Amino acid sequence: MKKRVLHFGWIATIAGIGLYLGLTAVQTELSLEQKIAQKLMIDVRYFCPQPGEEACRQPVTRLPDELRQLIRDTGLGGVILFAENLQTPEQIIDLTQDLQQAAMNSPVGQPLFISVDQEGGRVFRTPRSFSTGFSGNMAIGATYARHGVFYAEQVGTVLGKELAVLGINTNHAPVVDVNSNPANPVINVRAFGEHPQPVAELSVALLSSMQQQGVLGTLKHFPGHGDTYLDSHLALPLVSHTHAHIEQLDLAPFQWAIEHTEVPMIMTAHIQYPALDASTIFSTAGQSMIRPATMSRAILTDLLRQQMGFEGLVITDALDMAAISHYFTPIQAVQETFAAGADIALMPYPIRRPEDLVAFKALIAELASAVRQGELSAAELETSWQRIRSVKQRWLANTQPVVDRSALYQAASQQLGQPRHRELEQELARQALTLLHAEPGMLPLVTEQLSHIHLLAATPLQARMLRQSLSQHWPEQAKEQLRWTESSFDDWQPEQALQLSQQADLVIHAGWQRLASLVDLGGMADAASQQRPAMSYAAAMQASAQVLQAAKHADTKVILLGFGTPYELIPLMPFSDISMLAYHHGIEQHGSGLLYGPTYQAVAEALLGHTPMHGELPVRLTVPDLVVREARE
């Protein structure tokens, strides 16, 4: 590994400051407990003011007095917000302003990192009804061969602008993982692709553009989450590749980013990498296990800091994920991550009820005791706190809560989901749209020859969205003779689906959305409450294959549309005449009753010959007896 140490002016230790950010006088020297609190980032997703044993599901949309007091008492360093916290622009601004006011009123006087997972596409926390969600990283990757980093820059700029006006100063994005495993259940379309150099360039472009808008970004998940077949929200993955392979594939985009732009924060992966660190640790149950990267000093300090030259903040992935919480208590987890070299522990303890406030303060006290007893290095704690303070000085210097927020509301109304942002969202959907294969003469559709189209979709809403998009572009003279029918896996009637598919002139299969990963929903709090689809993924794929095969035997033409991971199309592509990939399935319903879905609009335009398909697949697909158009590296 090439060793390169960069020196950013913003990381220099700031000493002797009596006034911080031009606000009120604050402590020039923090207590041990306050420094530890600055290293913790909690979620404020739910809070119930009354004690109880049942799961709390009361969203925090206004800052409760109990959490306000906790921030003041401890000098907490940061919070992460989820979709439940984010309802309207005015409400979000009030919440972030109140959070910052509580922090600035504490003796520590440091602003909070107020963070969110706003990757675009599959992982997007603010409501799409007023903010711009885009099609996600793999869609951006599909534009790379033709447009370079243009769309990464544009998306980063919009994400940054729209978060900044809401008072959200930290975004845990972009994903820098190289998705080299088709079975990866948690990264997949969240990645830009499977080739390290395009991933590196696109990541840096998005990060830099977002940070130009004053929102600091996070590269994730170090040392790489792209080659796993397990979701670390649910289990502890292990990557068994050689050191050389990991360096060339997984580490390369991180190294390139460190050398080519300002990287204030890198998030760890809860993954075992024995080629990087084969040392073991005992779980709470006494089980000997290979250290996860999040708890590995060899990975976070020796590799990331010393060899790769990273000088920013190391933040853990959420410590409530099963890859950590199933093996360690909260105090063990935080202590091990700090010992490994992490600066910030993300979601170290769930605060849902008043009794959790006491437990959280006890966690801080236990960590302070570990420092005093020499179990954690006091010198490293001080260095870490100075890094945090320097990054806050660099990025949060304009954090000044205000009483009259009308100007903030107005700025948000002018920025969020503005027409140019929506146009860019649609433009990306068009430019990313990827034609995987098409039989000769199939494109564009000859509408005069079609009298019956059968839609096969995951949900009735998806079928409605596709029909609406196609109808908007269908020639008026051909609409009168056209009959639409549909089948949905939410209400599956196999005999009807088979019959209609064989009767139709054209079957359009709109793709099946696999059960959402917990990252789509937010985290471990959703594991028990997640609503499963009416049909399992395996059953839906089997049913799809049966229907499409029957349609082909009846000489019905078949169009296969992918609105998610490209790998799901592989078993069905042999039955299709046209296969296309749009990468994202998002649909919004507006007050007018019309549906809004940029990728569906792009598909309709392309099928009817109004726009070309320029996207190039950023991953490899292998389909027997079928030539699939592949991207260039």
Catalogue the active-site residues. Answer: 317
Distance CA 462, CA 491 (A): 13
Taking the mean position of all CA atoms in its chain, how far away is CA 11?
27
> For residue 466, what are the CA distances in angstroms to 173, 453, 529, 599?
30, 11, 29, 10
**257: amino acid identity, one letter:** A
Q: 239 near 271, Cβ under 8 Å?
A: yes
Distance CA 485, CA 502 (A): 12
Distance CA 63, CA 75 (A): 16
Distance CA 61, CA 86 (A): 7
Q: 27 near 37, Cβ under 8 Å?
A: no
Tokens of 427: 């433009």
Strand pairing report for 288-290 and 280-282: antiparallel
β-sheet bridge partners, residue 59: 46
Element (H, E) at 553: helix 537-553
Q: 467 near 597, Cβ under 8 Å?
A: no
Residue closest to 593 by CA, chosen among 424, 429, 461, 483: 461
Q: 571 near 546, Cβ under 8 Å?
A: no
Q: Name residues whose C-beta falls within 8 Å of residue 469's C-beta, 6 or more positions apart in sequence.
A: 597, 600, 601, 603, 604
Q: At what angle do helices 150-164 and 419-432 cross, to 10 degrees?
A: 150
Burial environment of residue 611 by CB neighbours within 10 A (0 to 12, 13 to 18, 19 or more): middle
Q: At what angle do helices 419-432 and 598-607 cross, to 10 degrees?
A: 50
Q: 96 near 168, Cβ under 8 Å?
A: yes
Question: Which of the 8 DSSP states describes residue 452?
Answer: E
Element (H, E) at 576: none
Q: 550 near 501, Cβ under 8 Å?
A: yes
Q: 397 near 214, Cβ under 8 Å?
A: no
Distance CA 406, CA 199 (A): 40
- The residue whose two tokens read 């991933």 is 199
At 182 the three-state DSSP class reads coil
At 508 the three-state DSSP class reads strand
Alpha helices in 22-130 (DSSP H): 32-38, 65-74, 89-104
Alpha helices in 416-524 (DSSP H): 419-432, 460-473, 476-479, 494-503, 518-521
Q: 110 near 20, Cβ under 8 Å?
A: yes
**187: amino acid identity, one letter:** I
> For residue 387, what are the CA distances in angstroms to 14, 383, 390, 625?
9, 6, 5, 56
Phi, psi of 589 (to 5 degrees): -105, 120
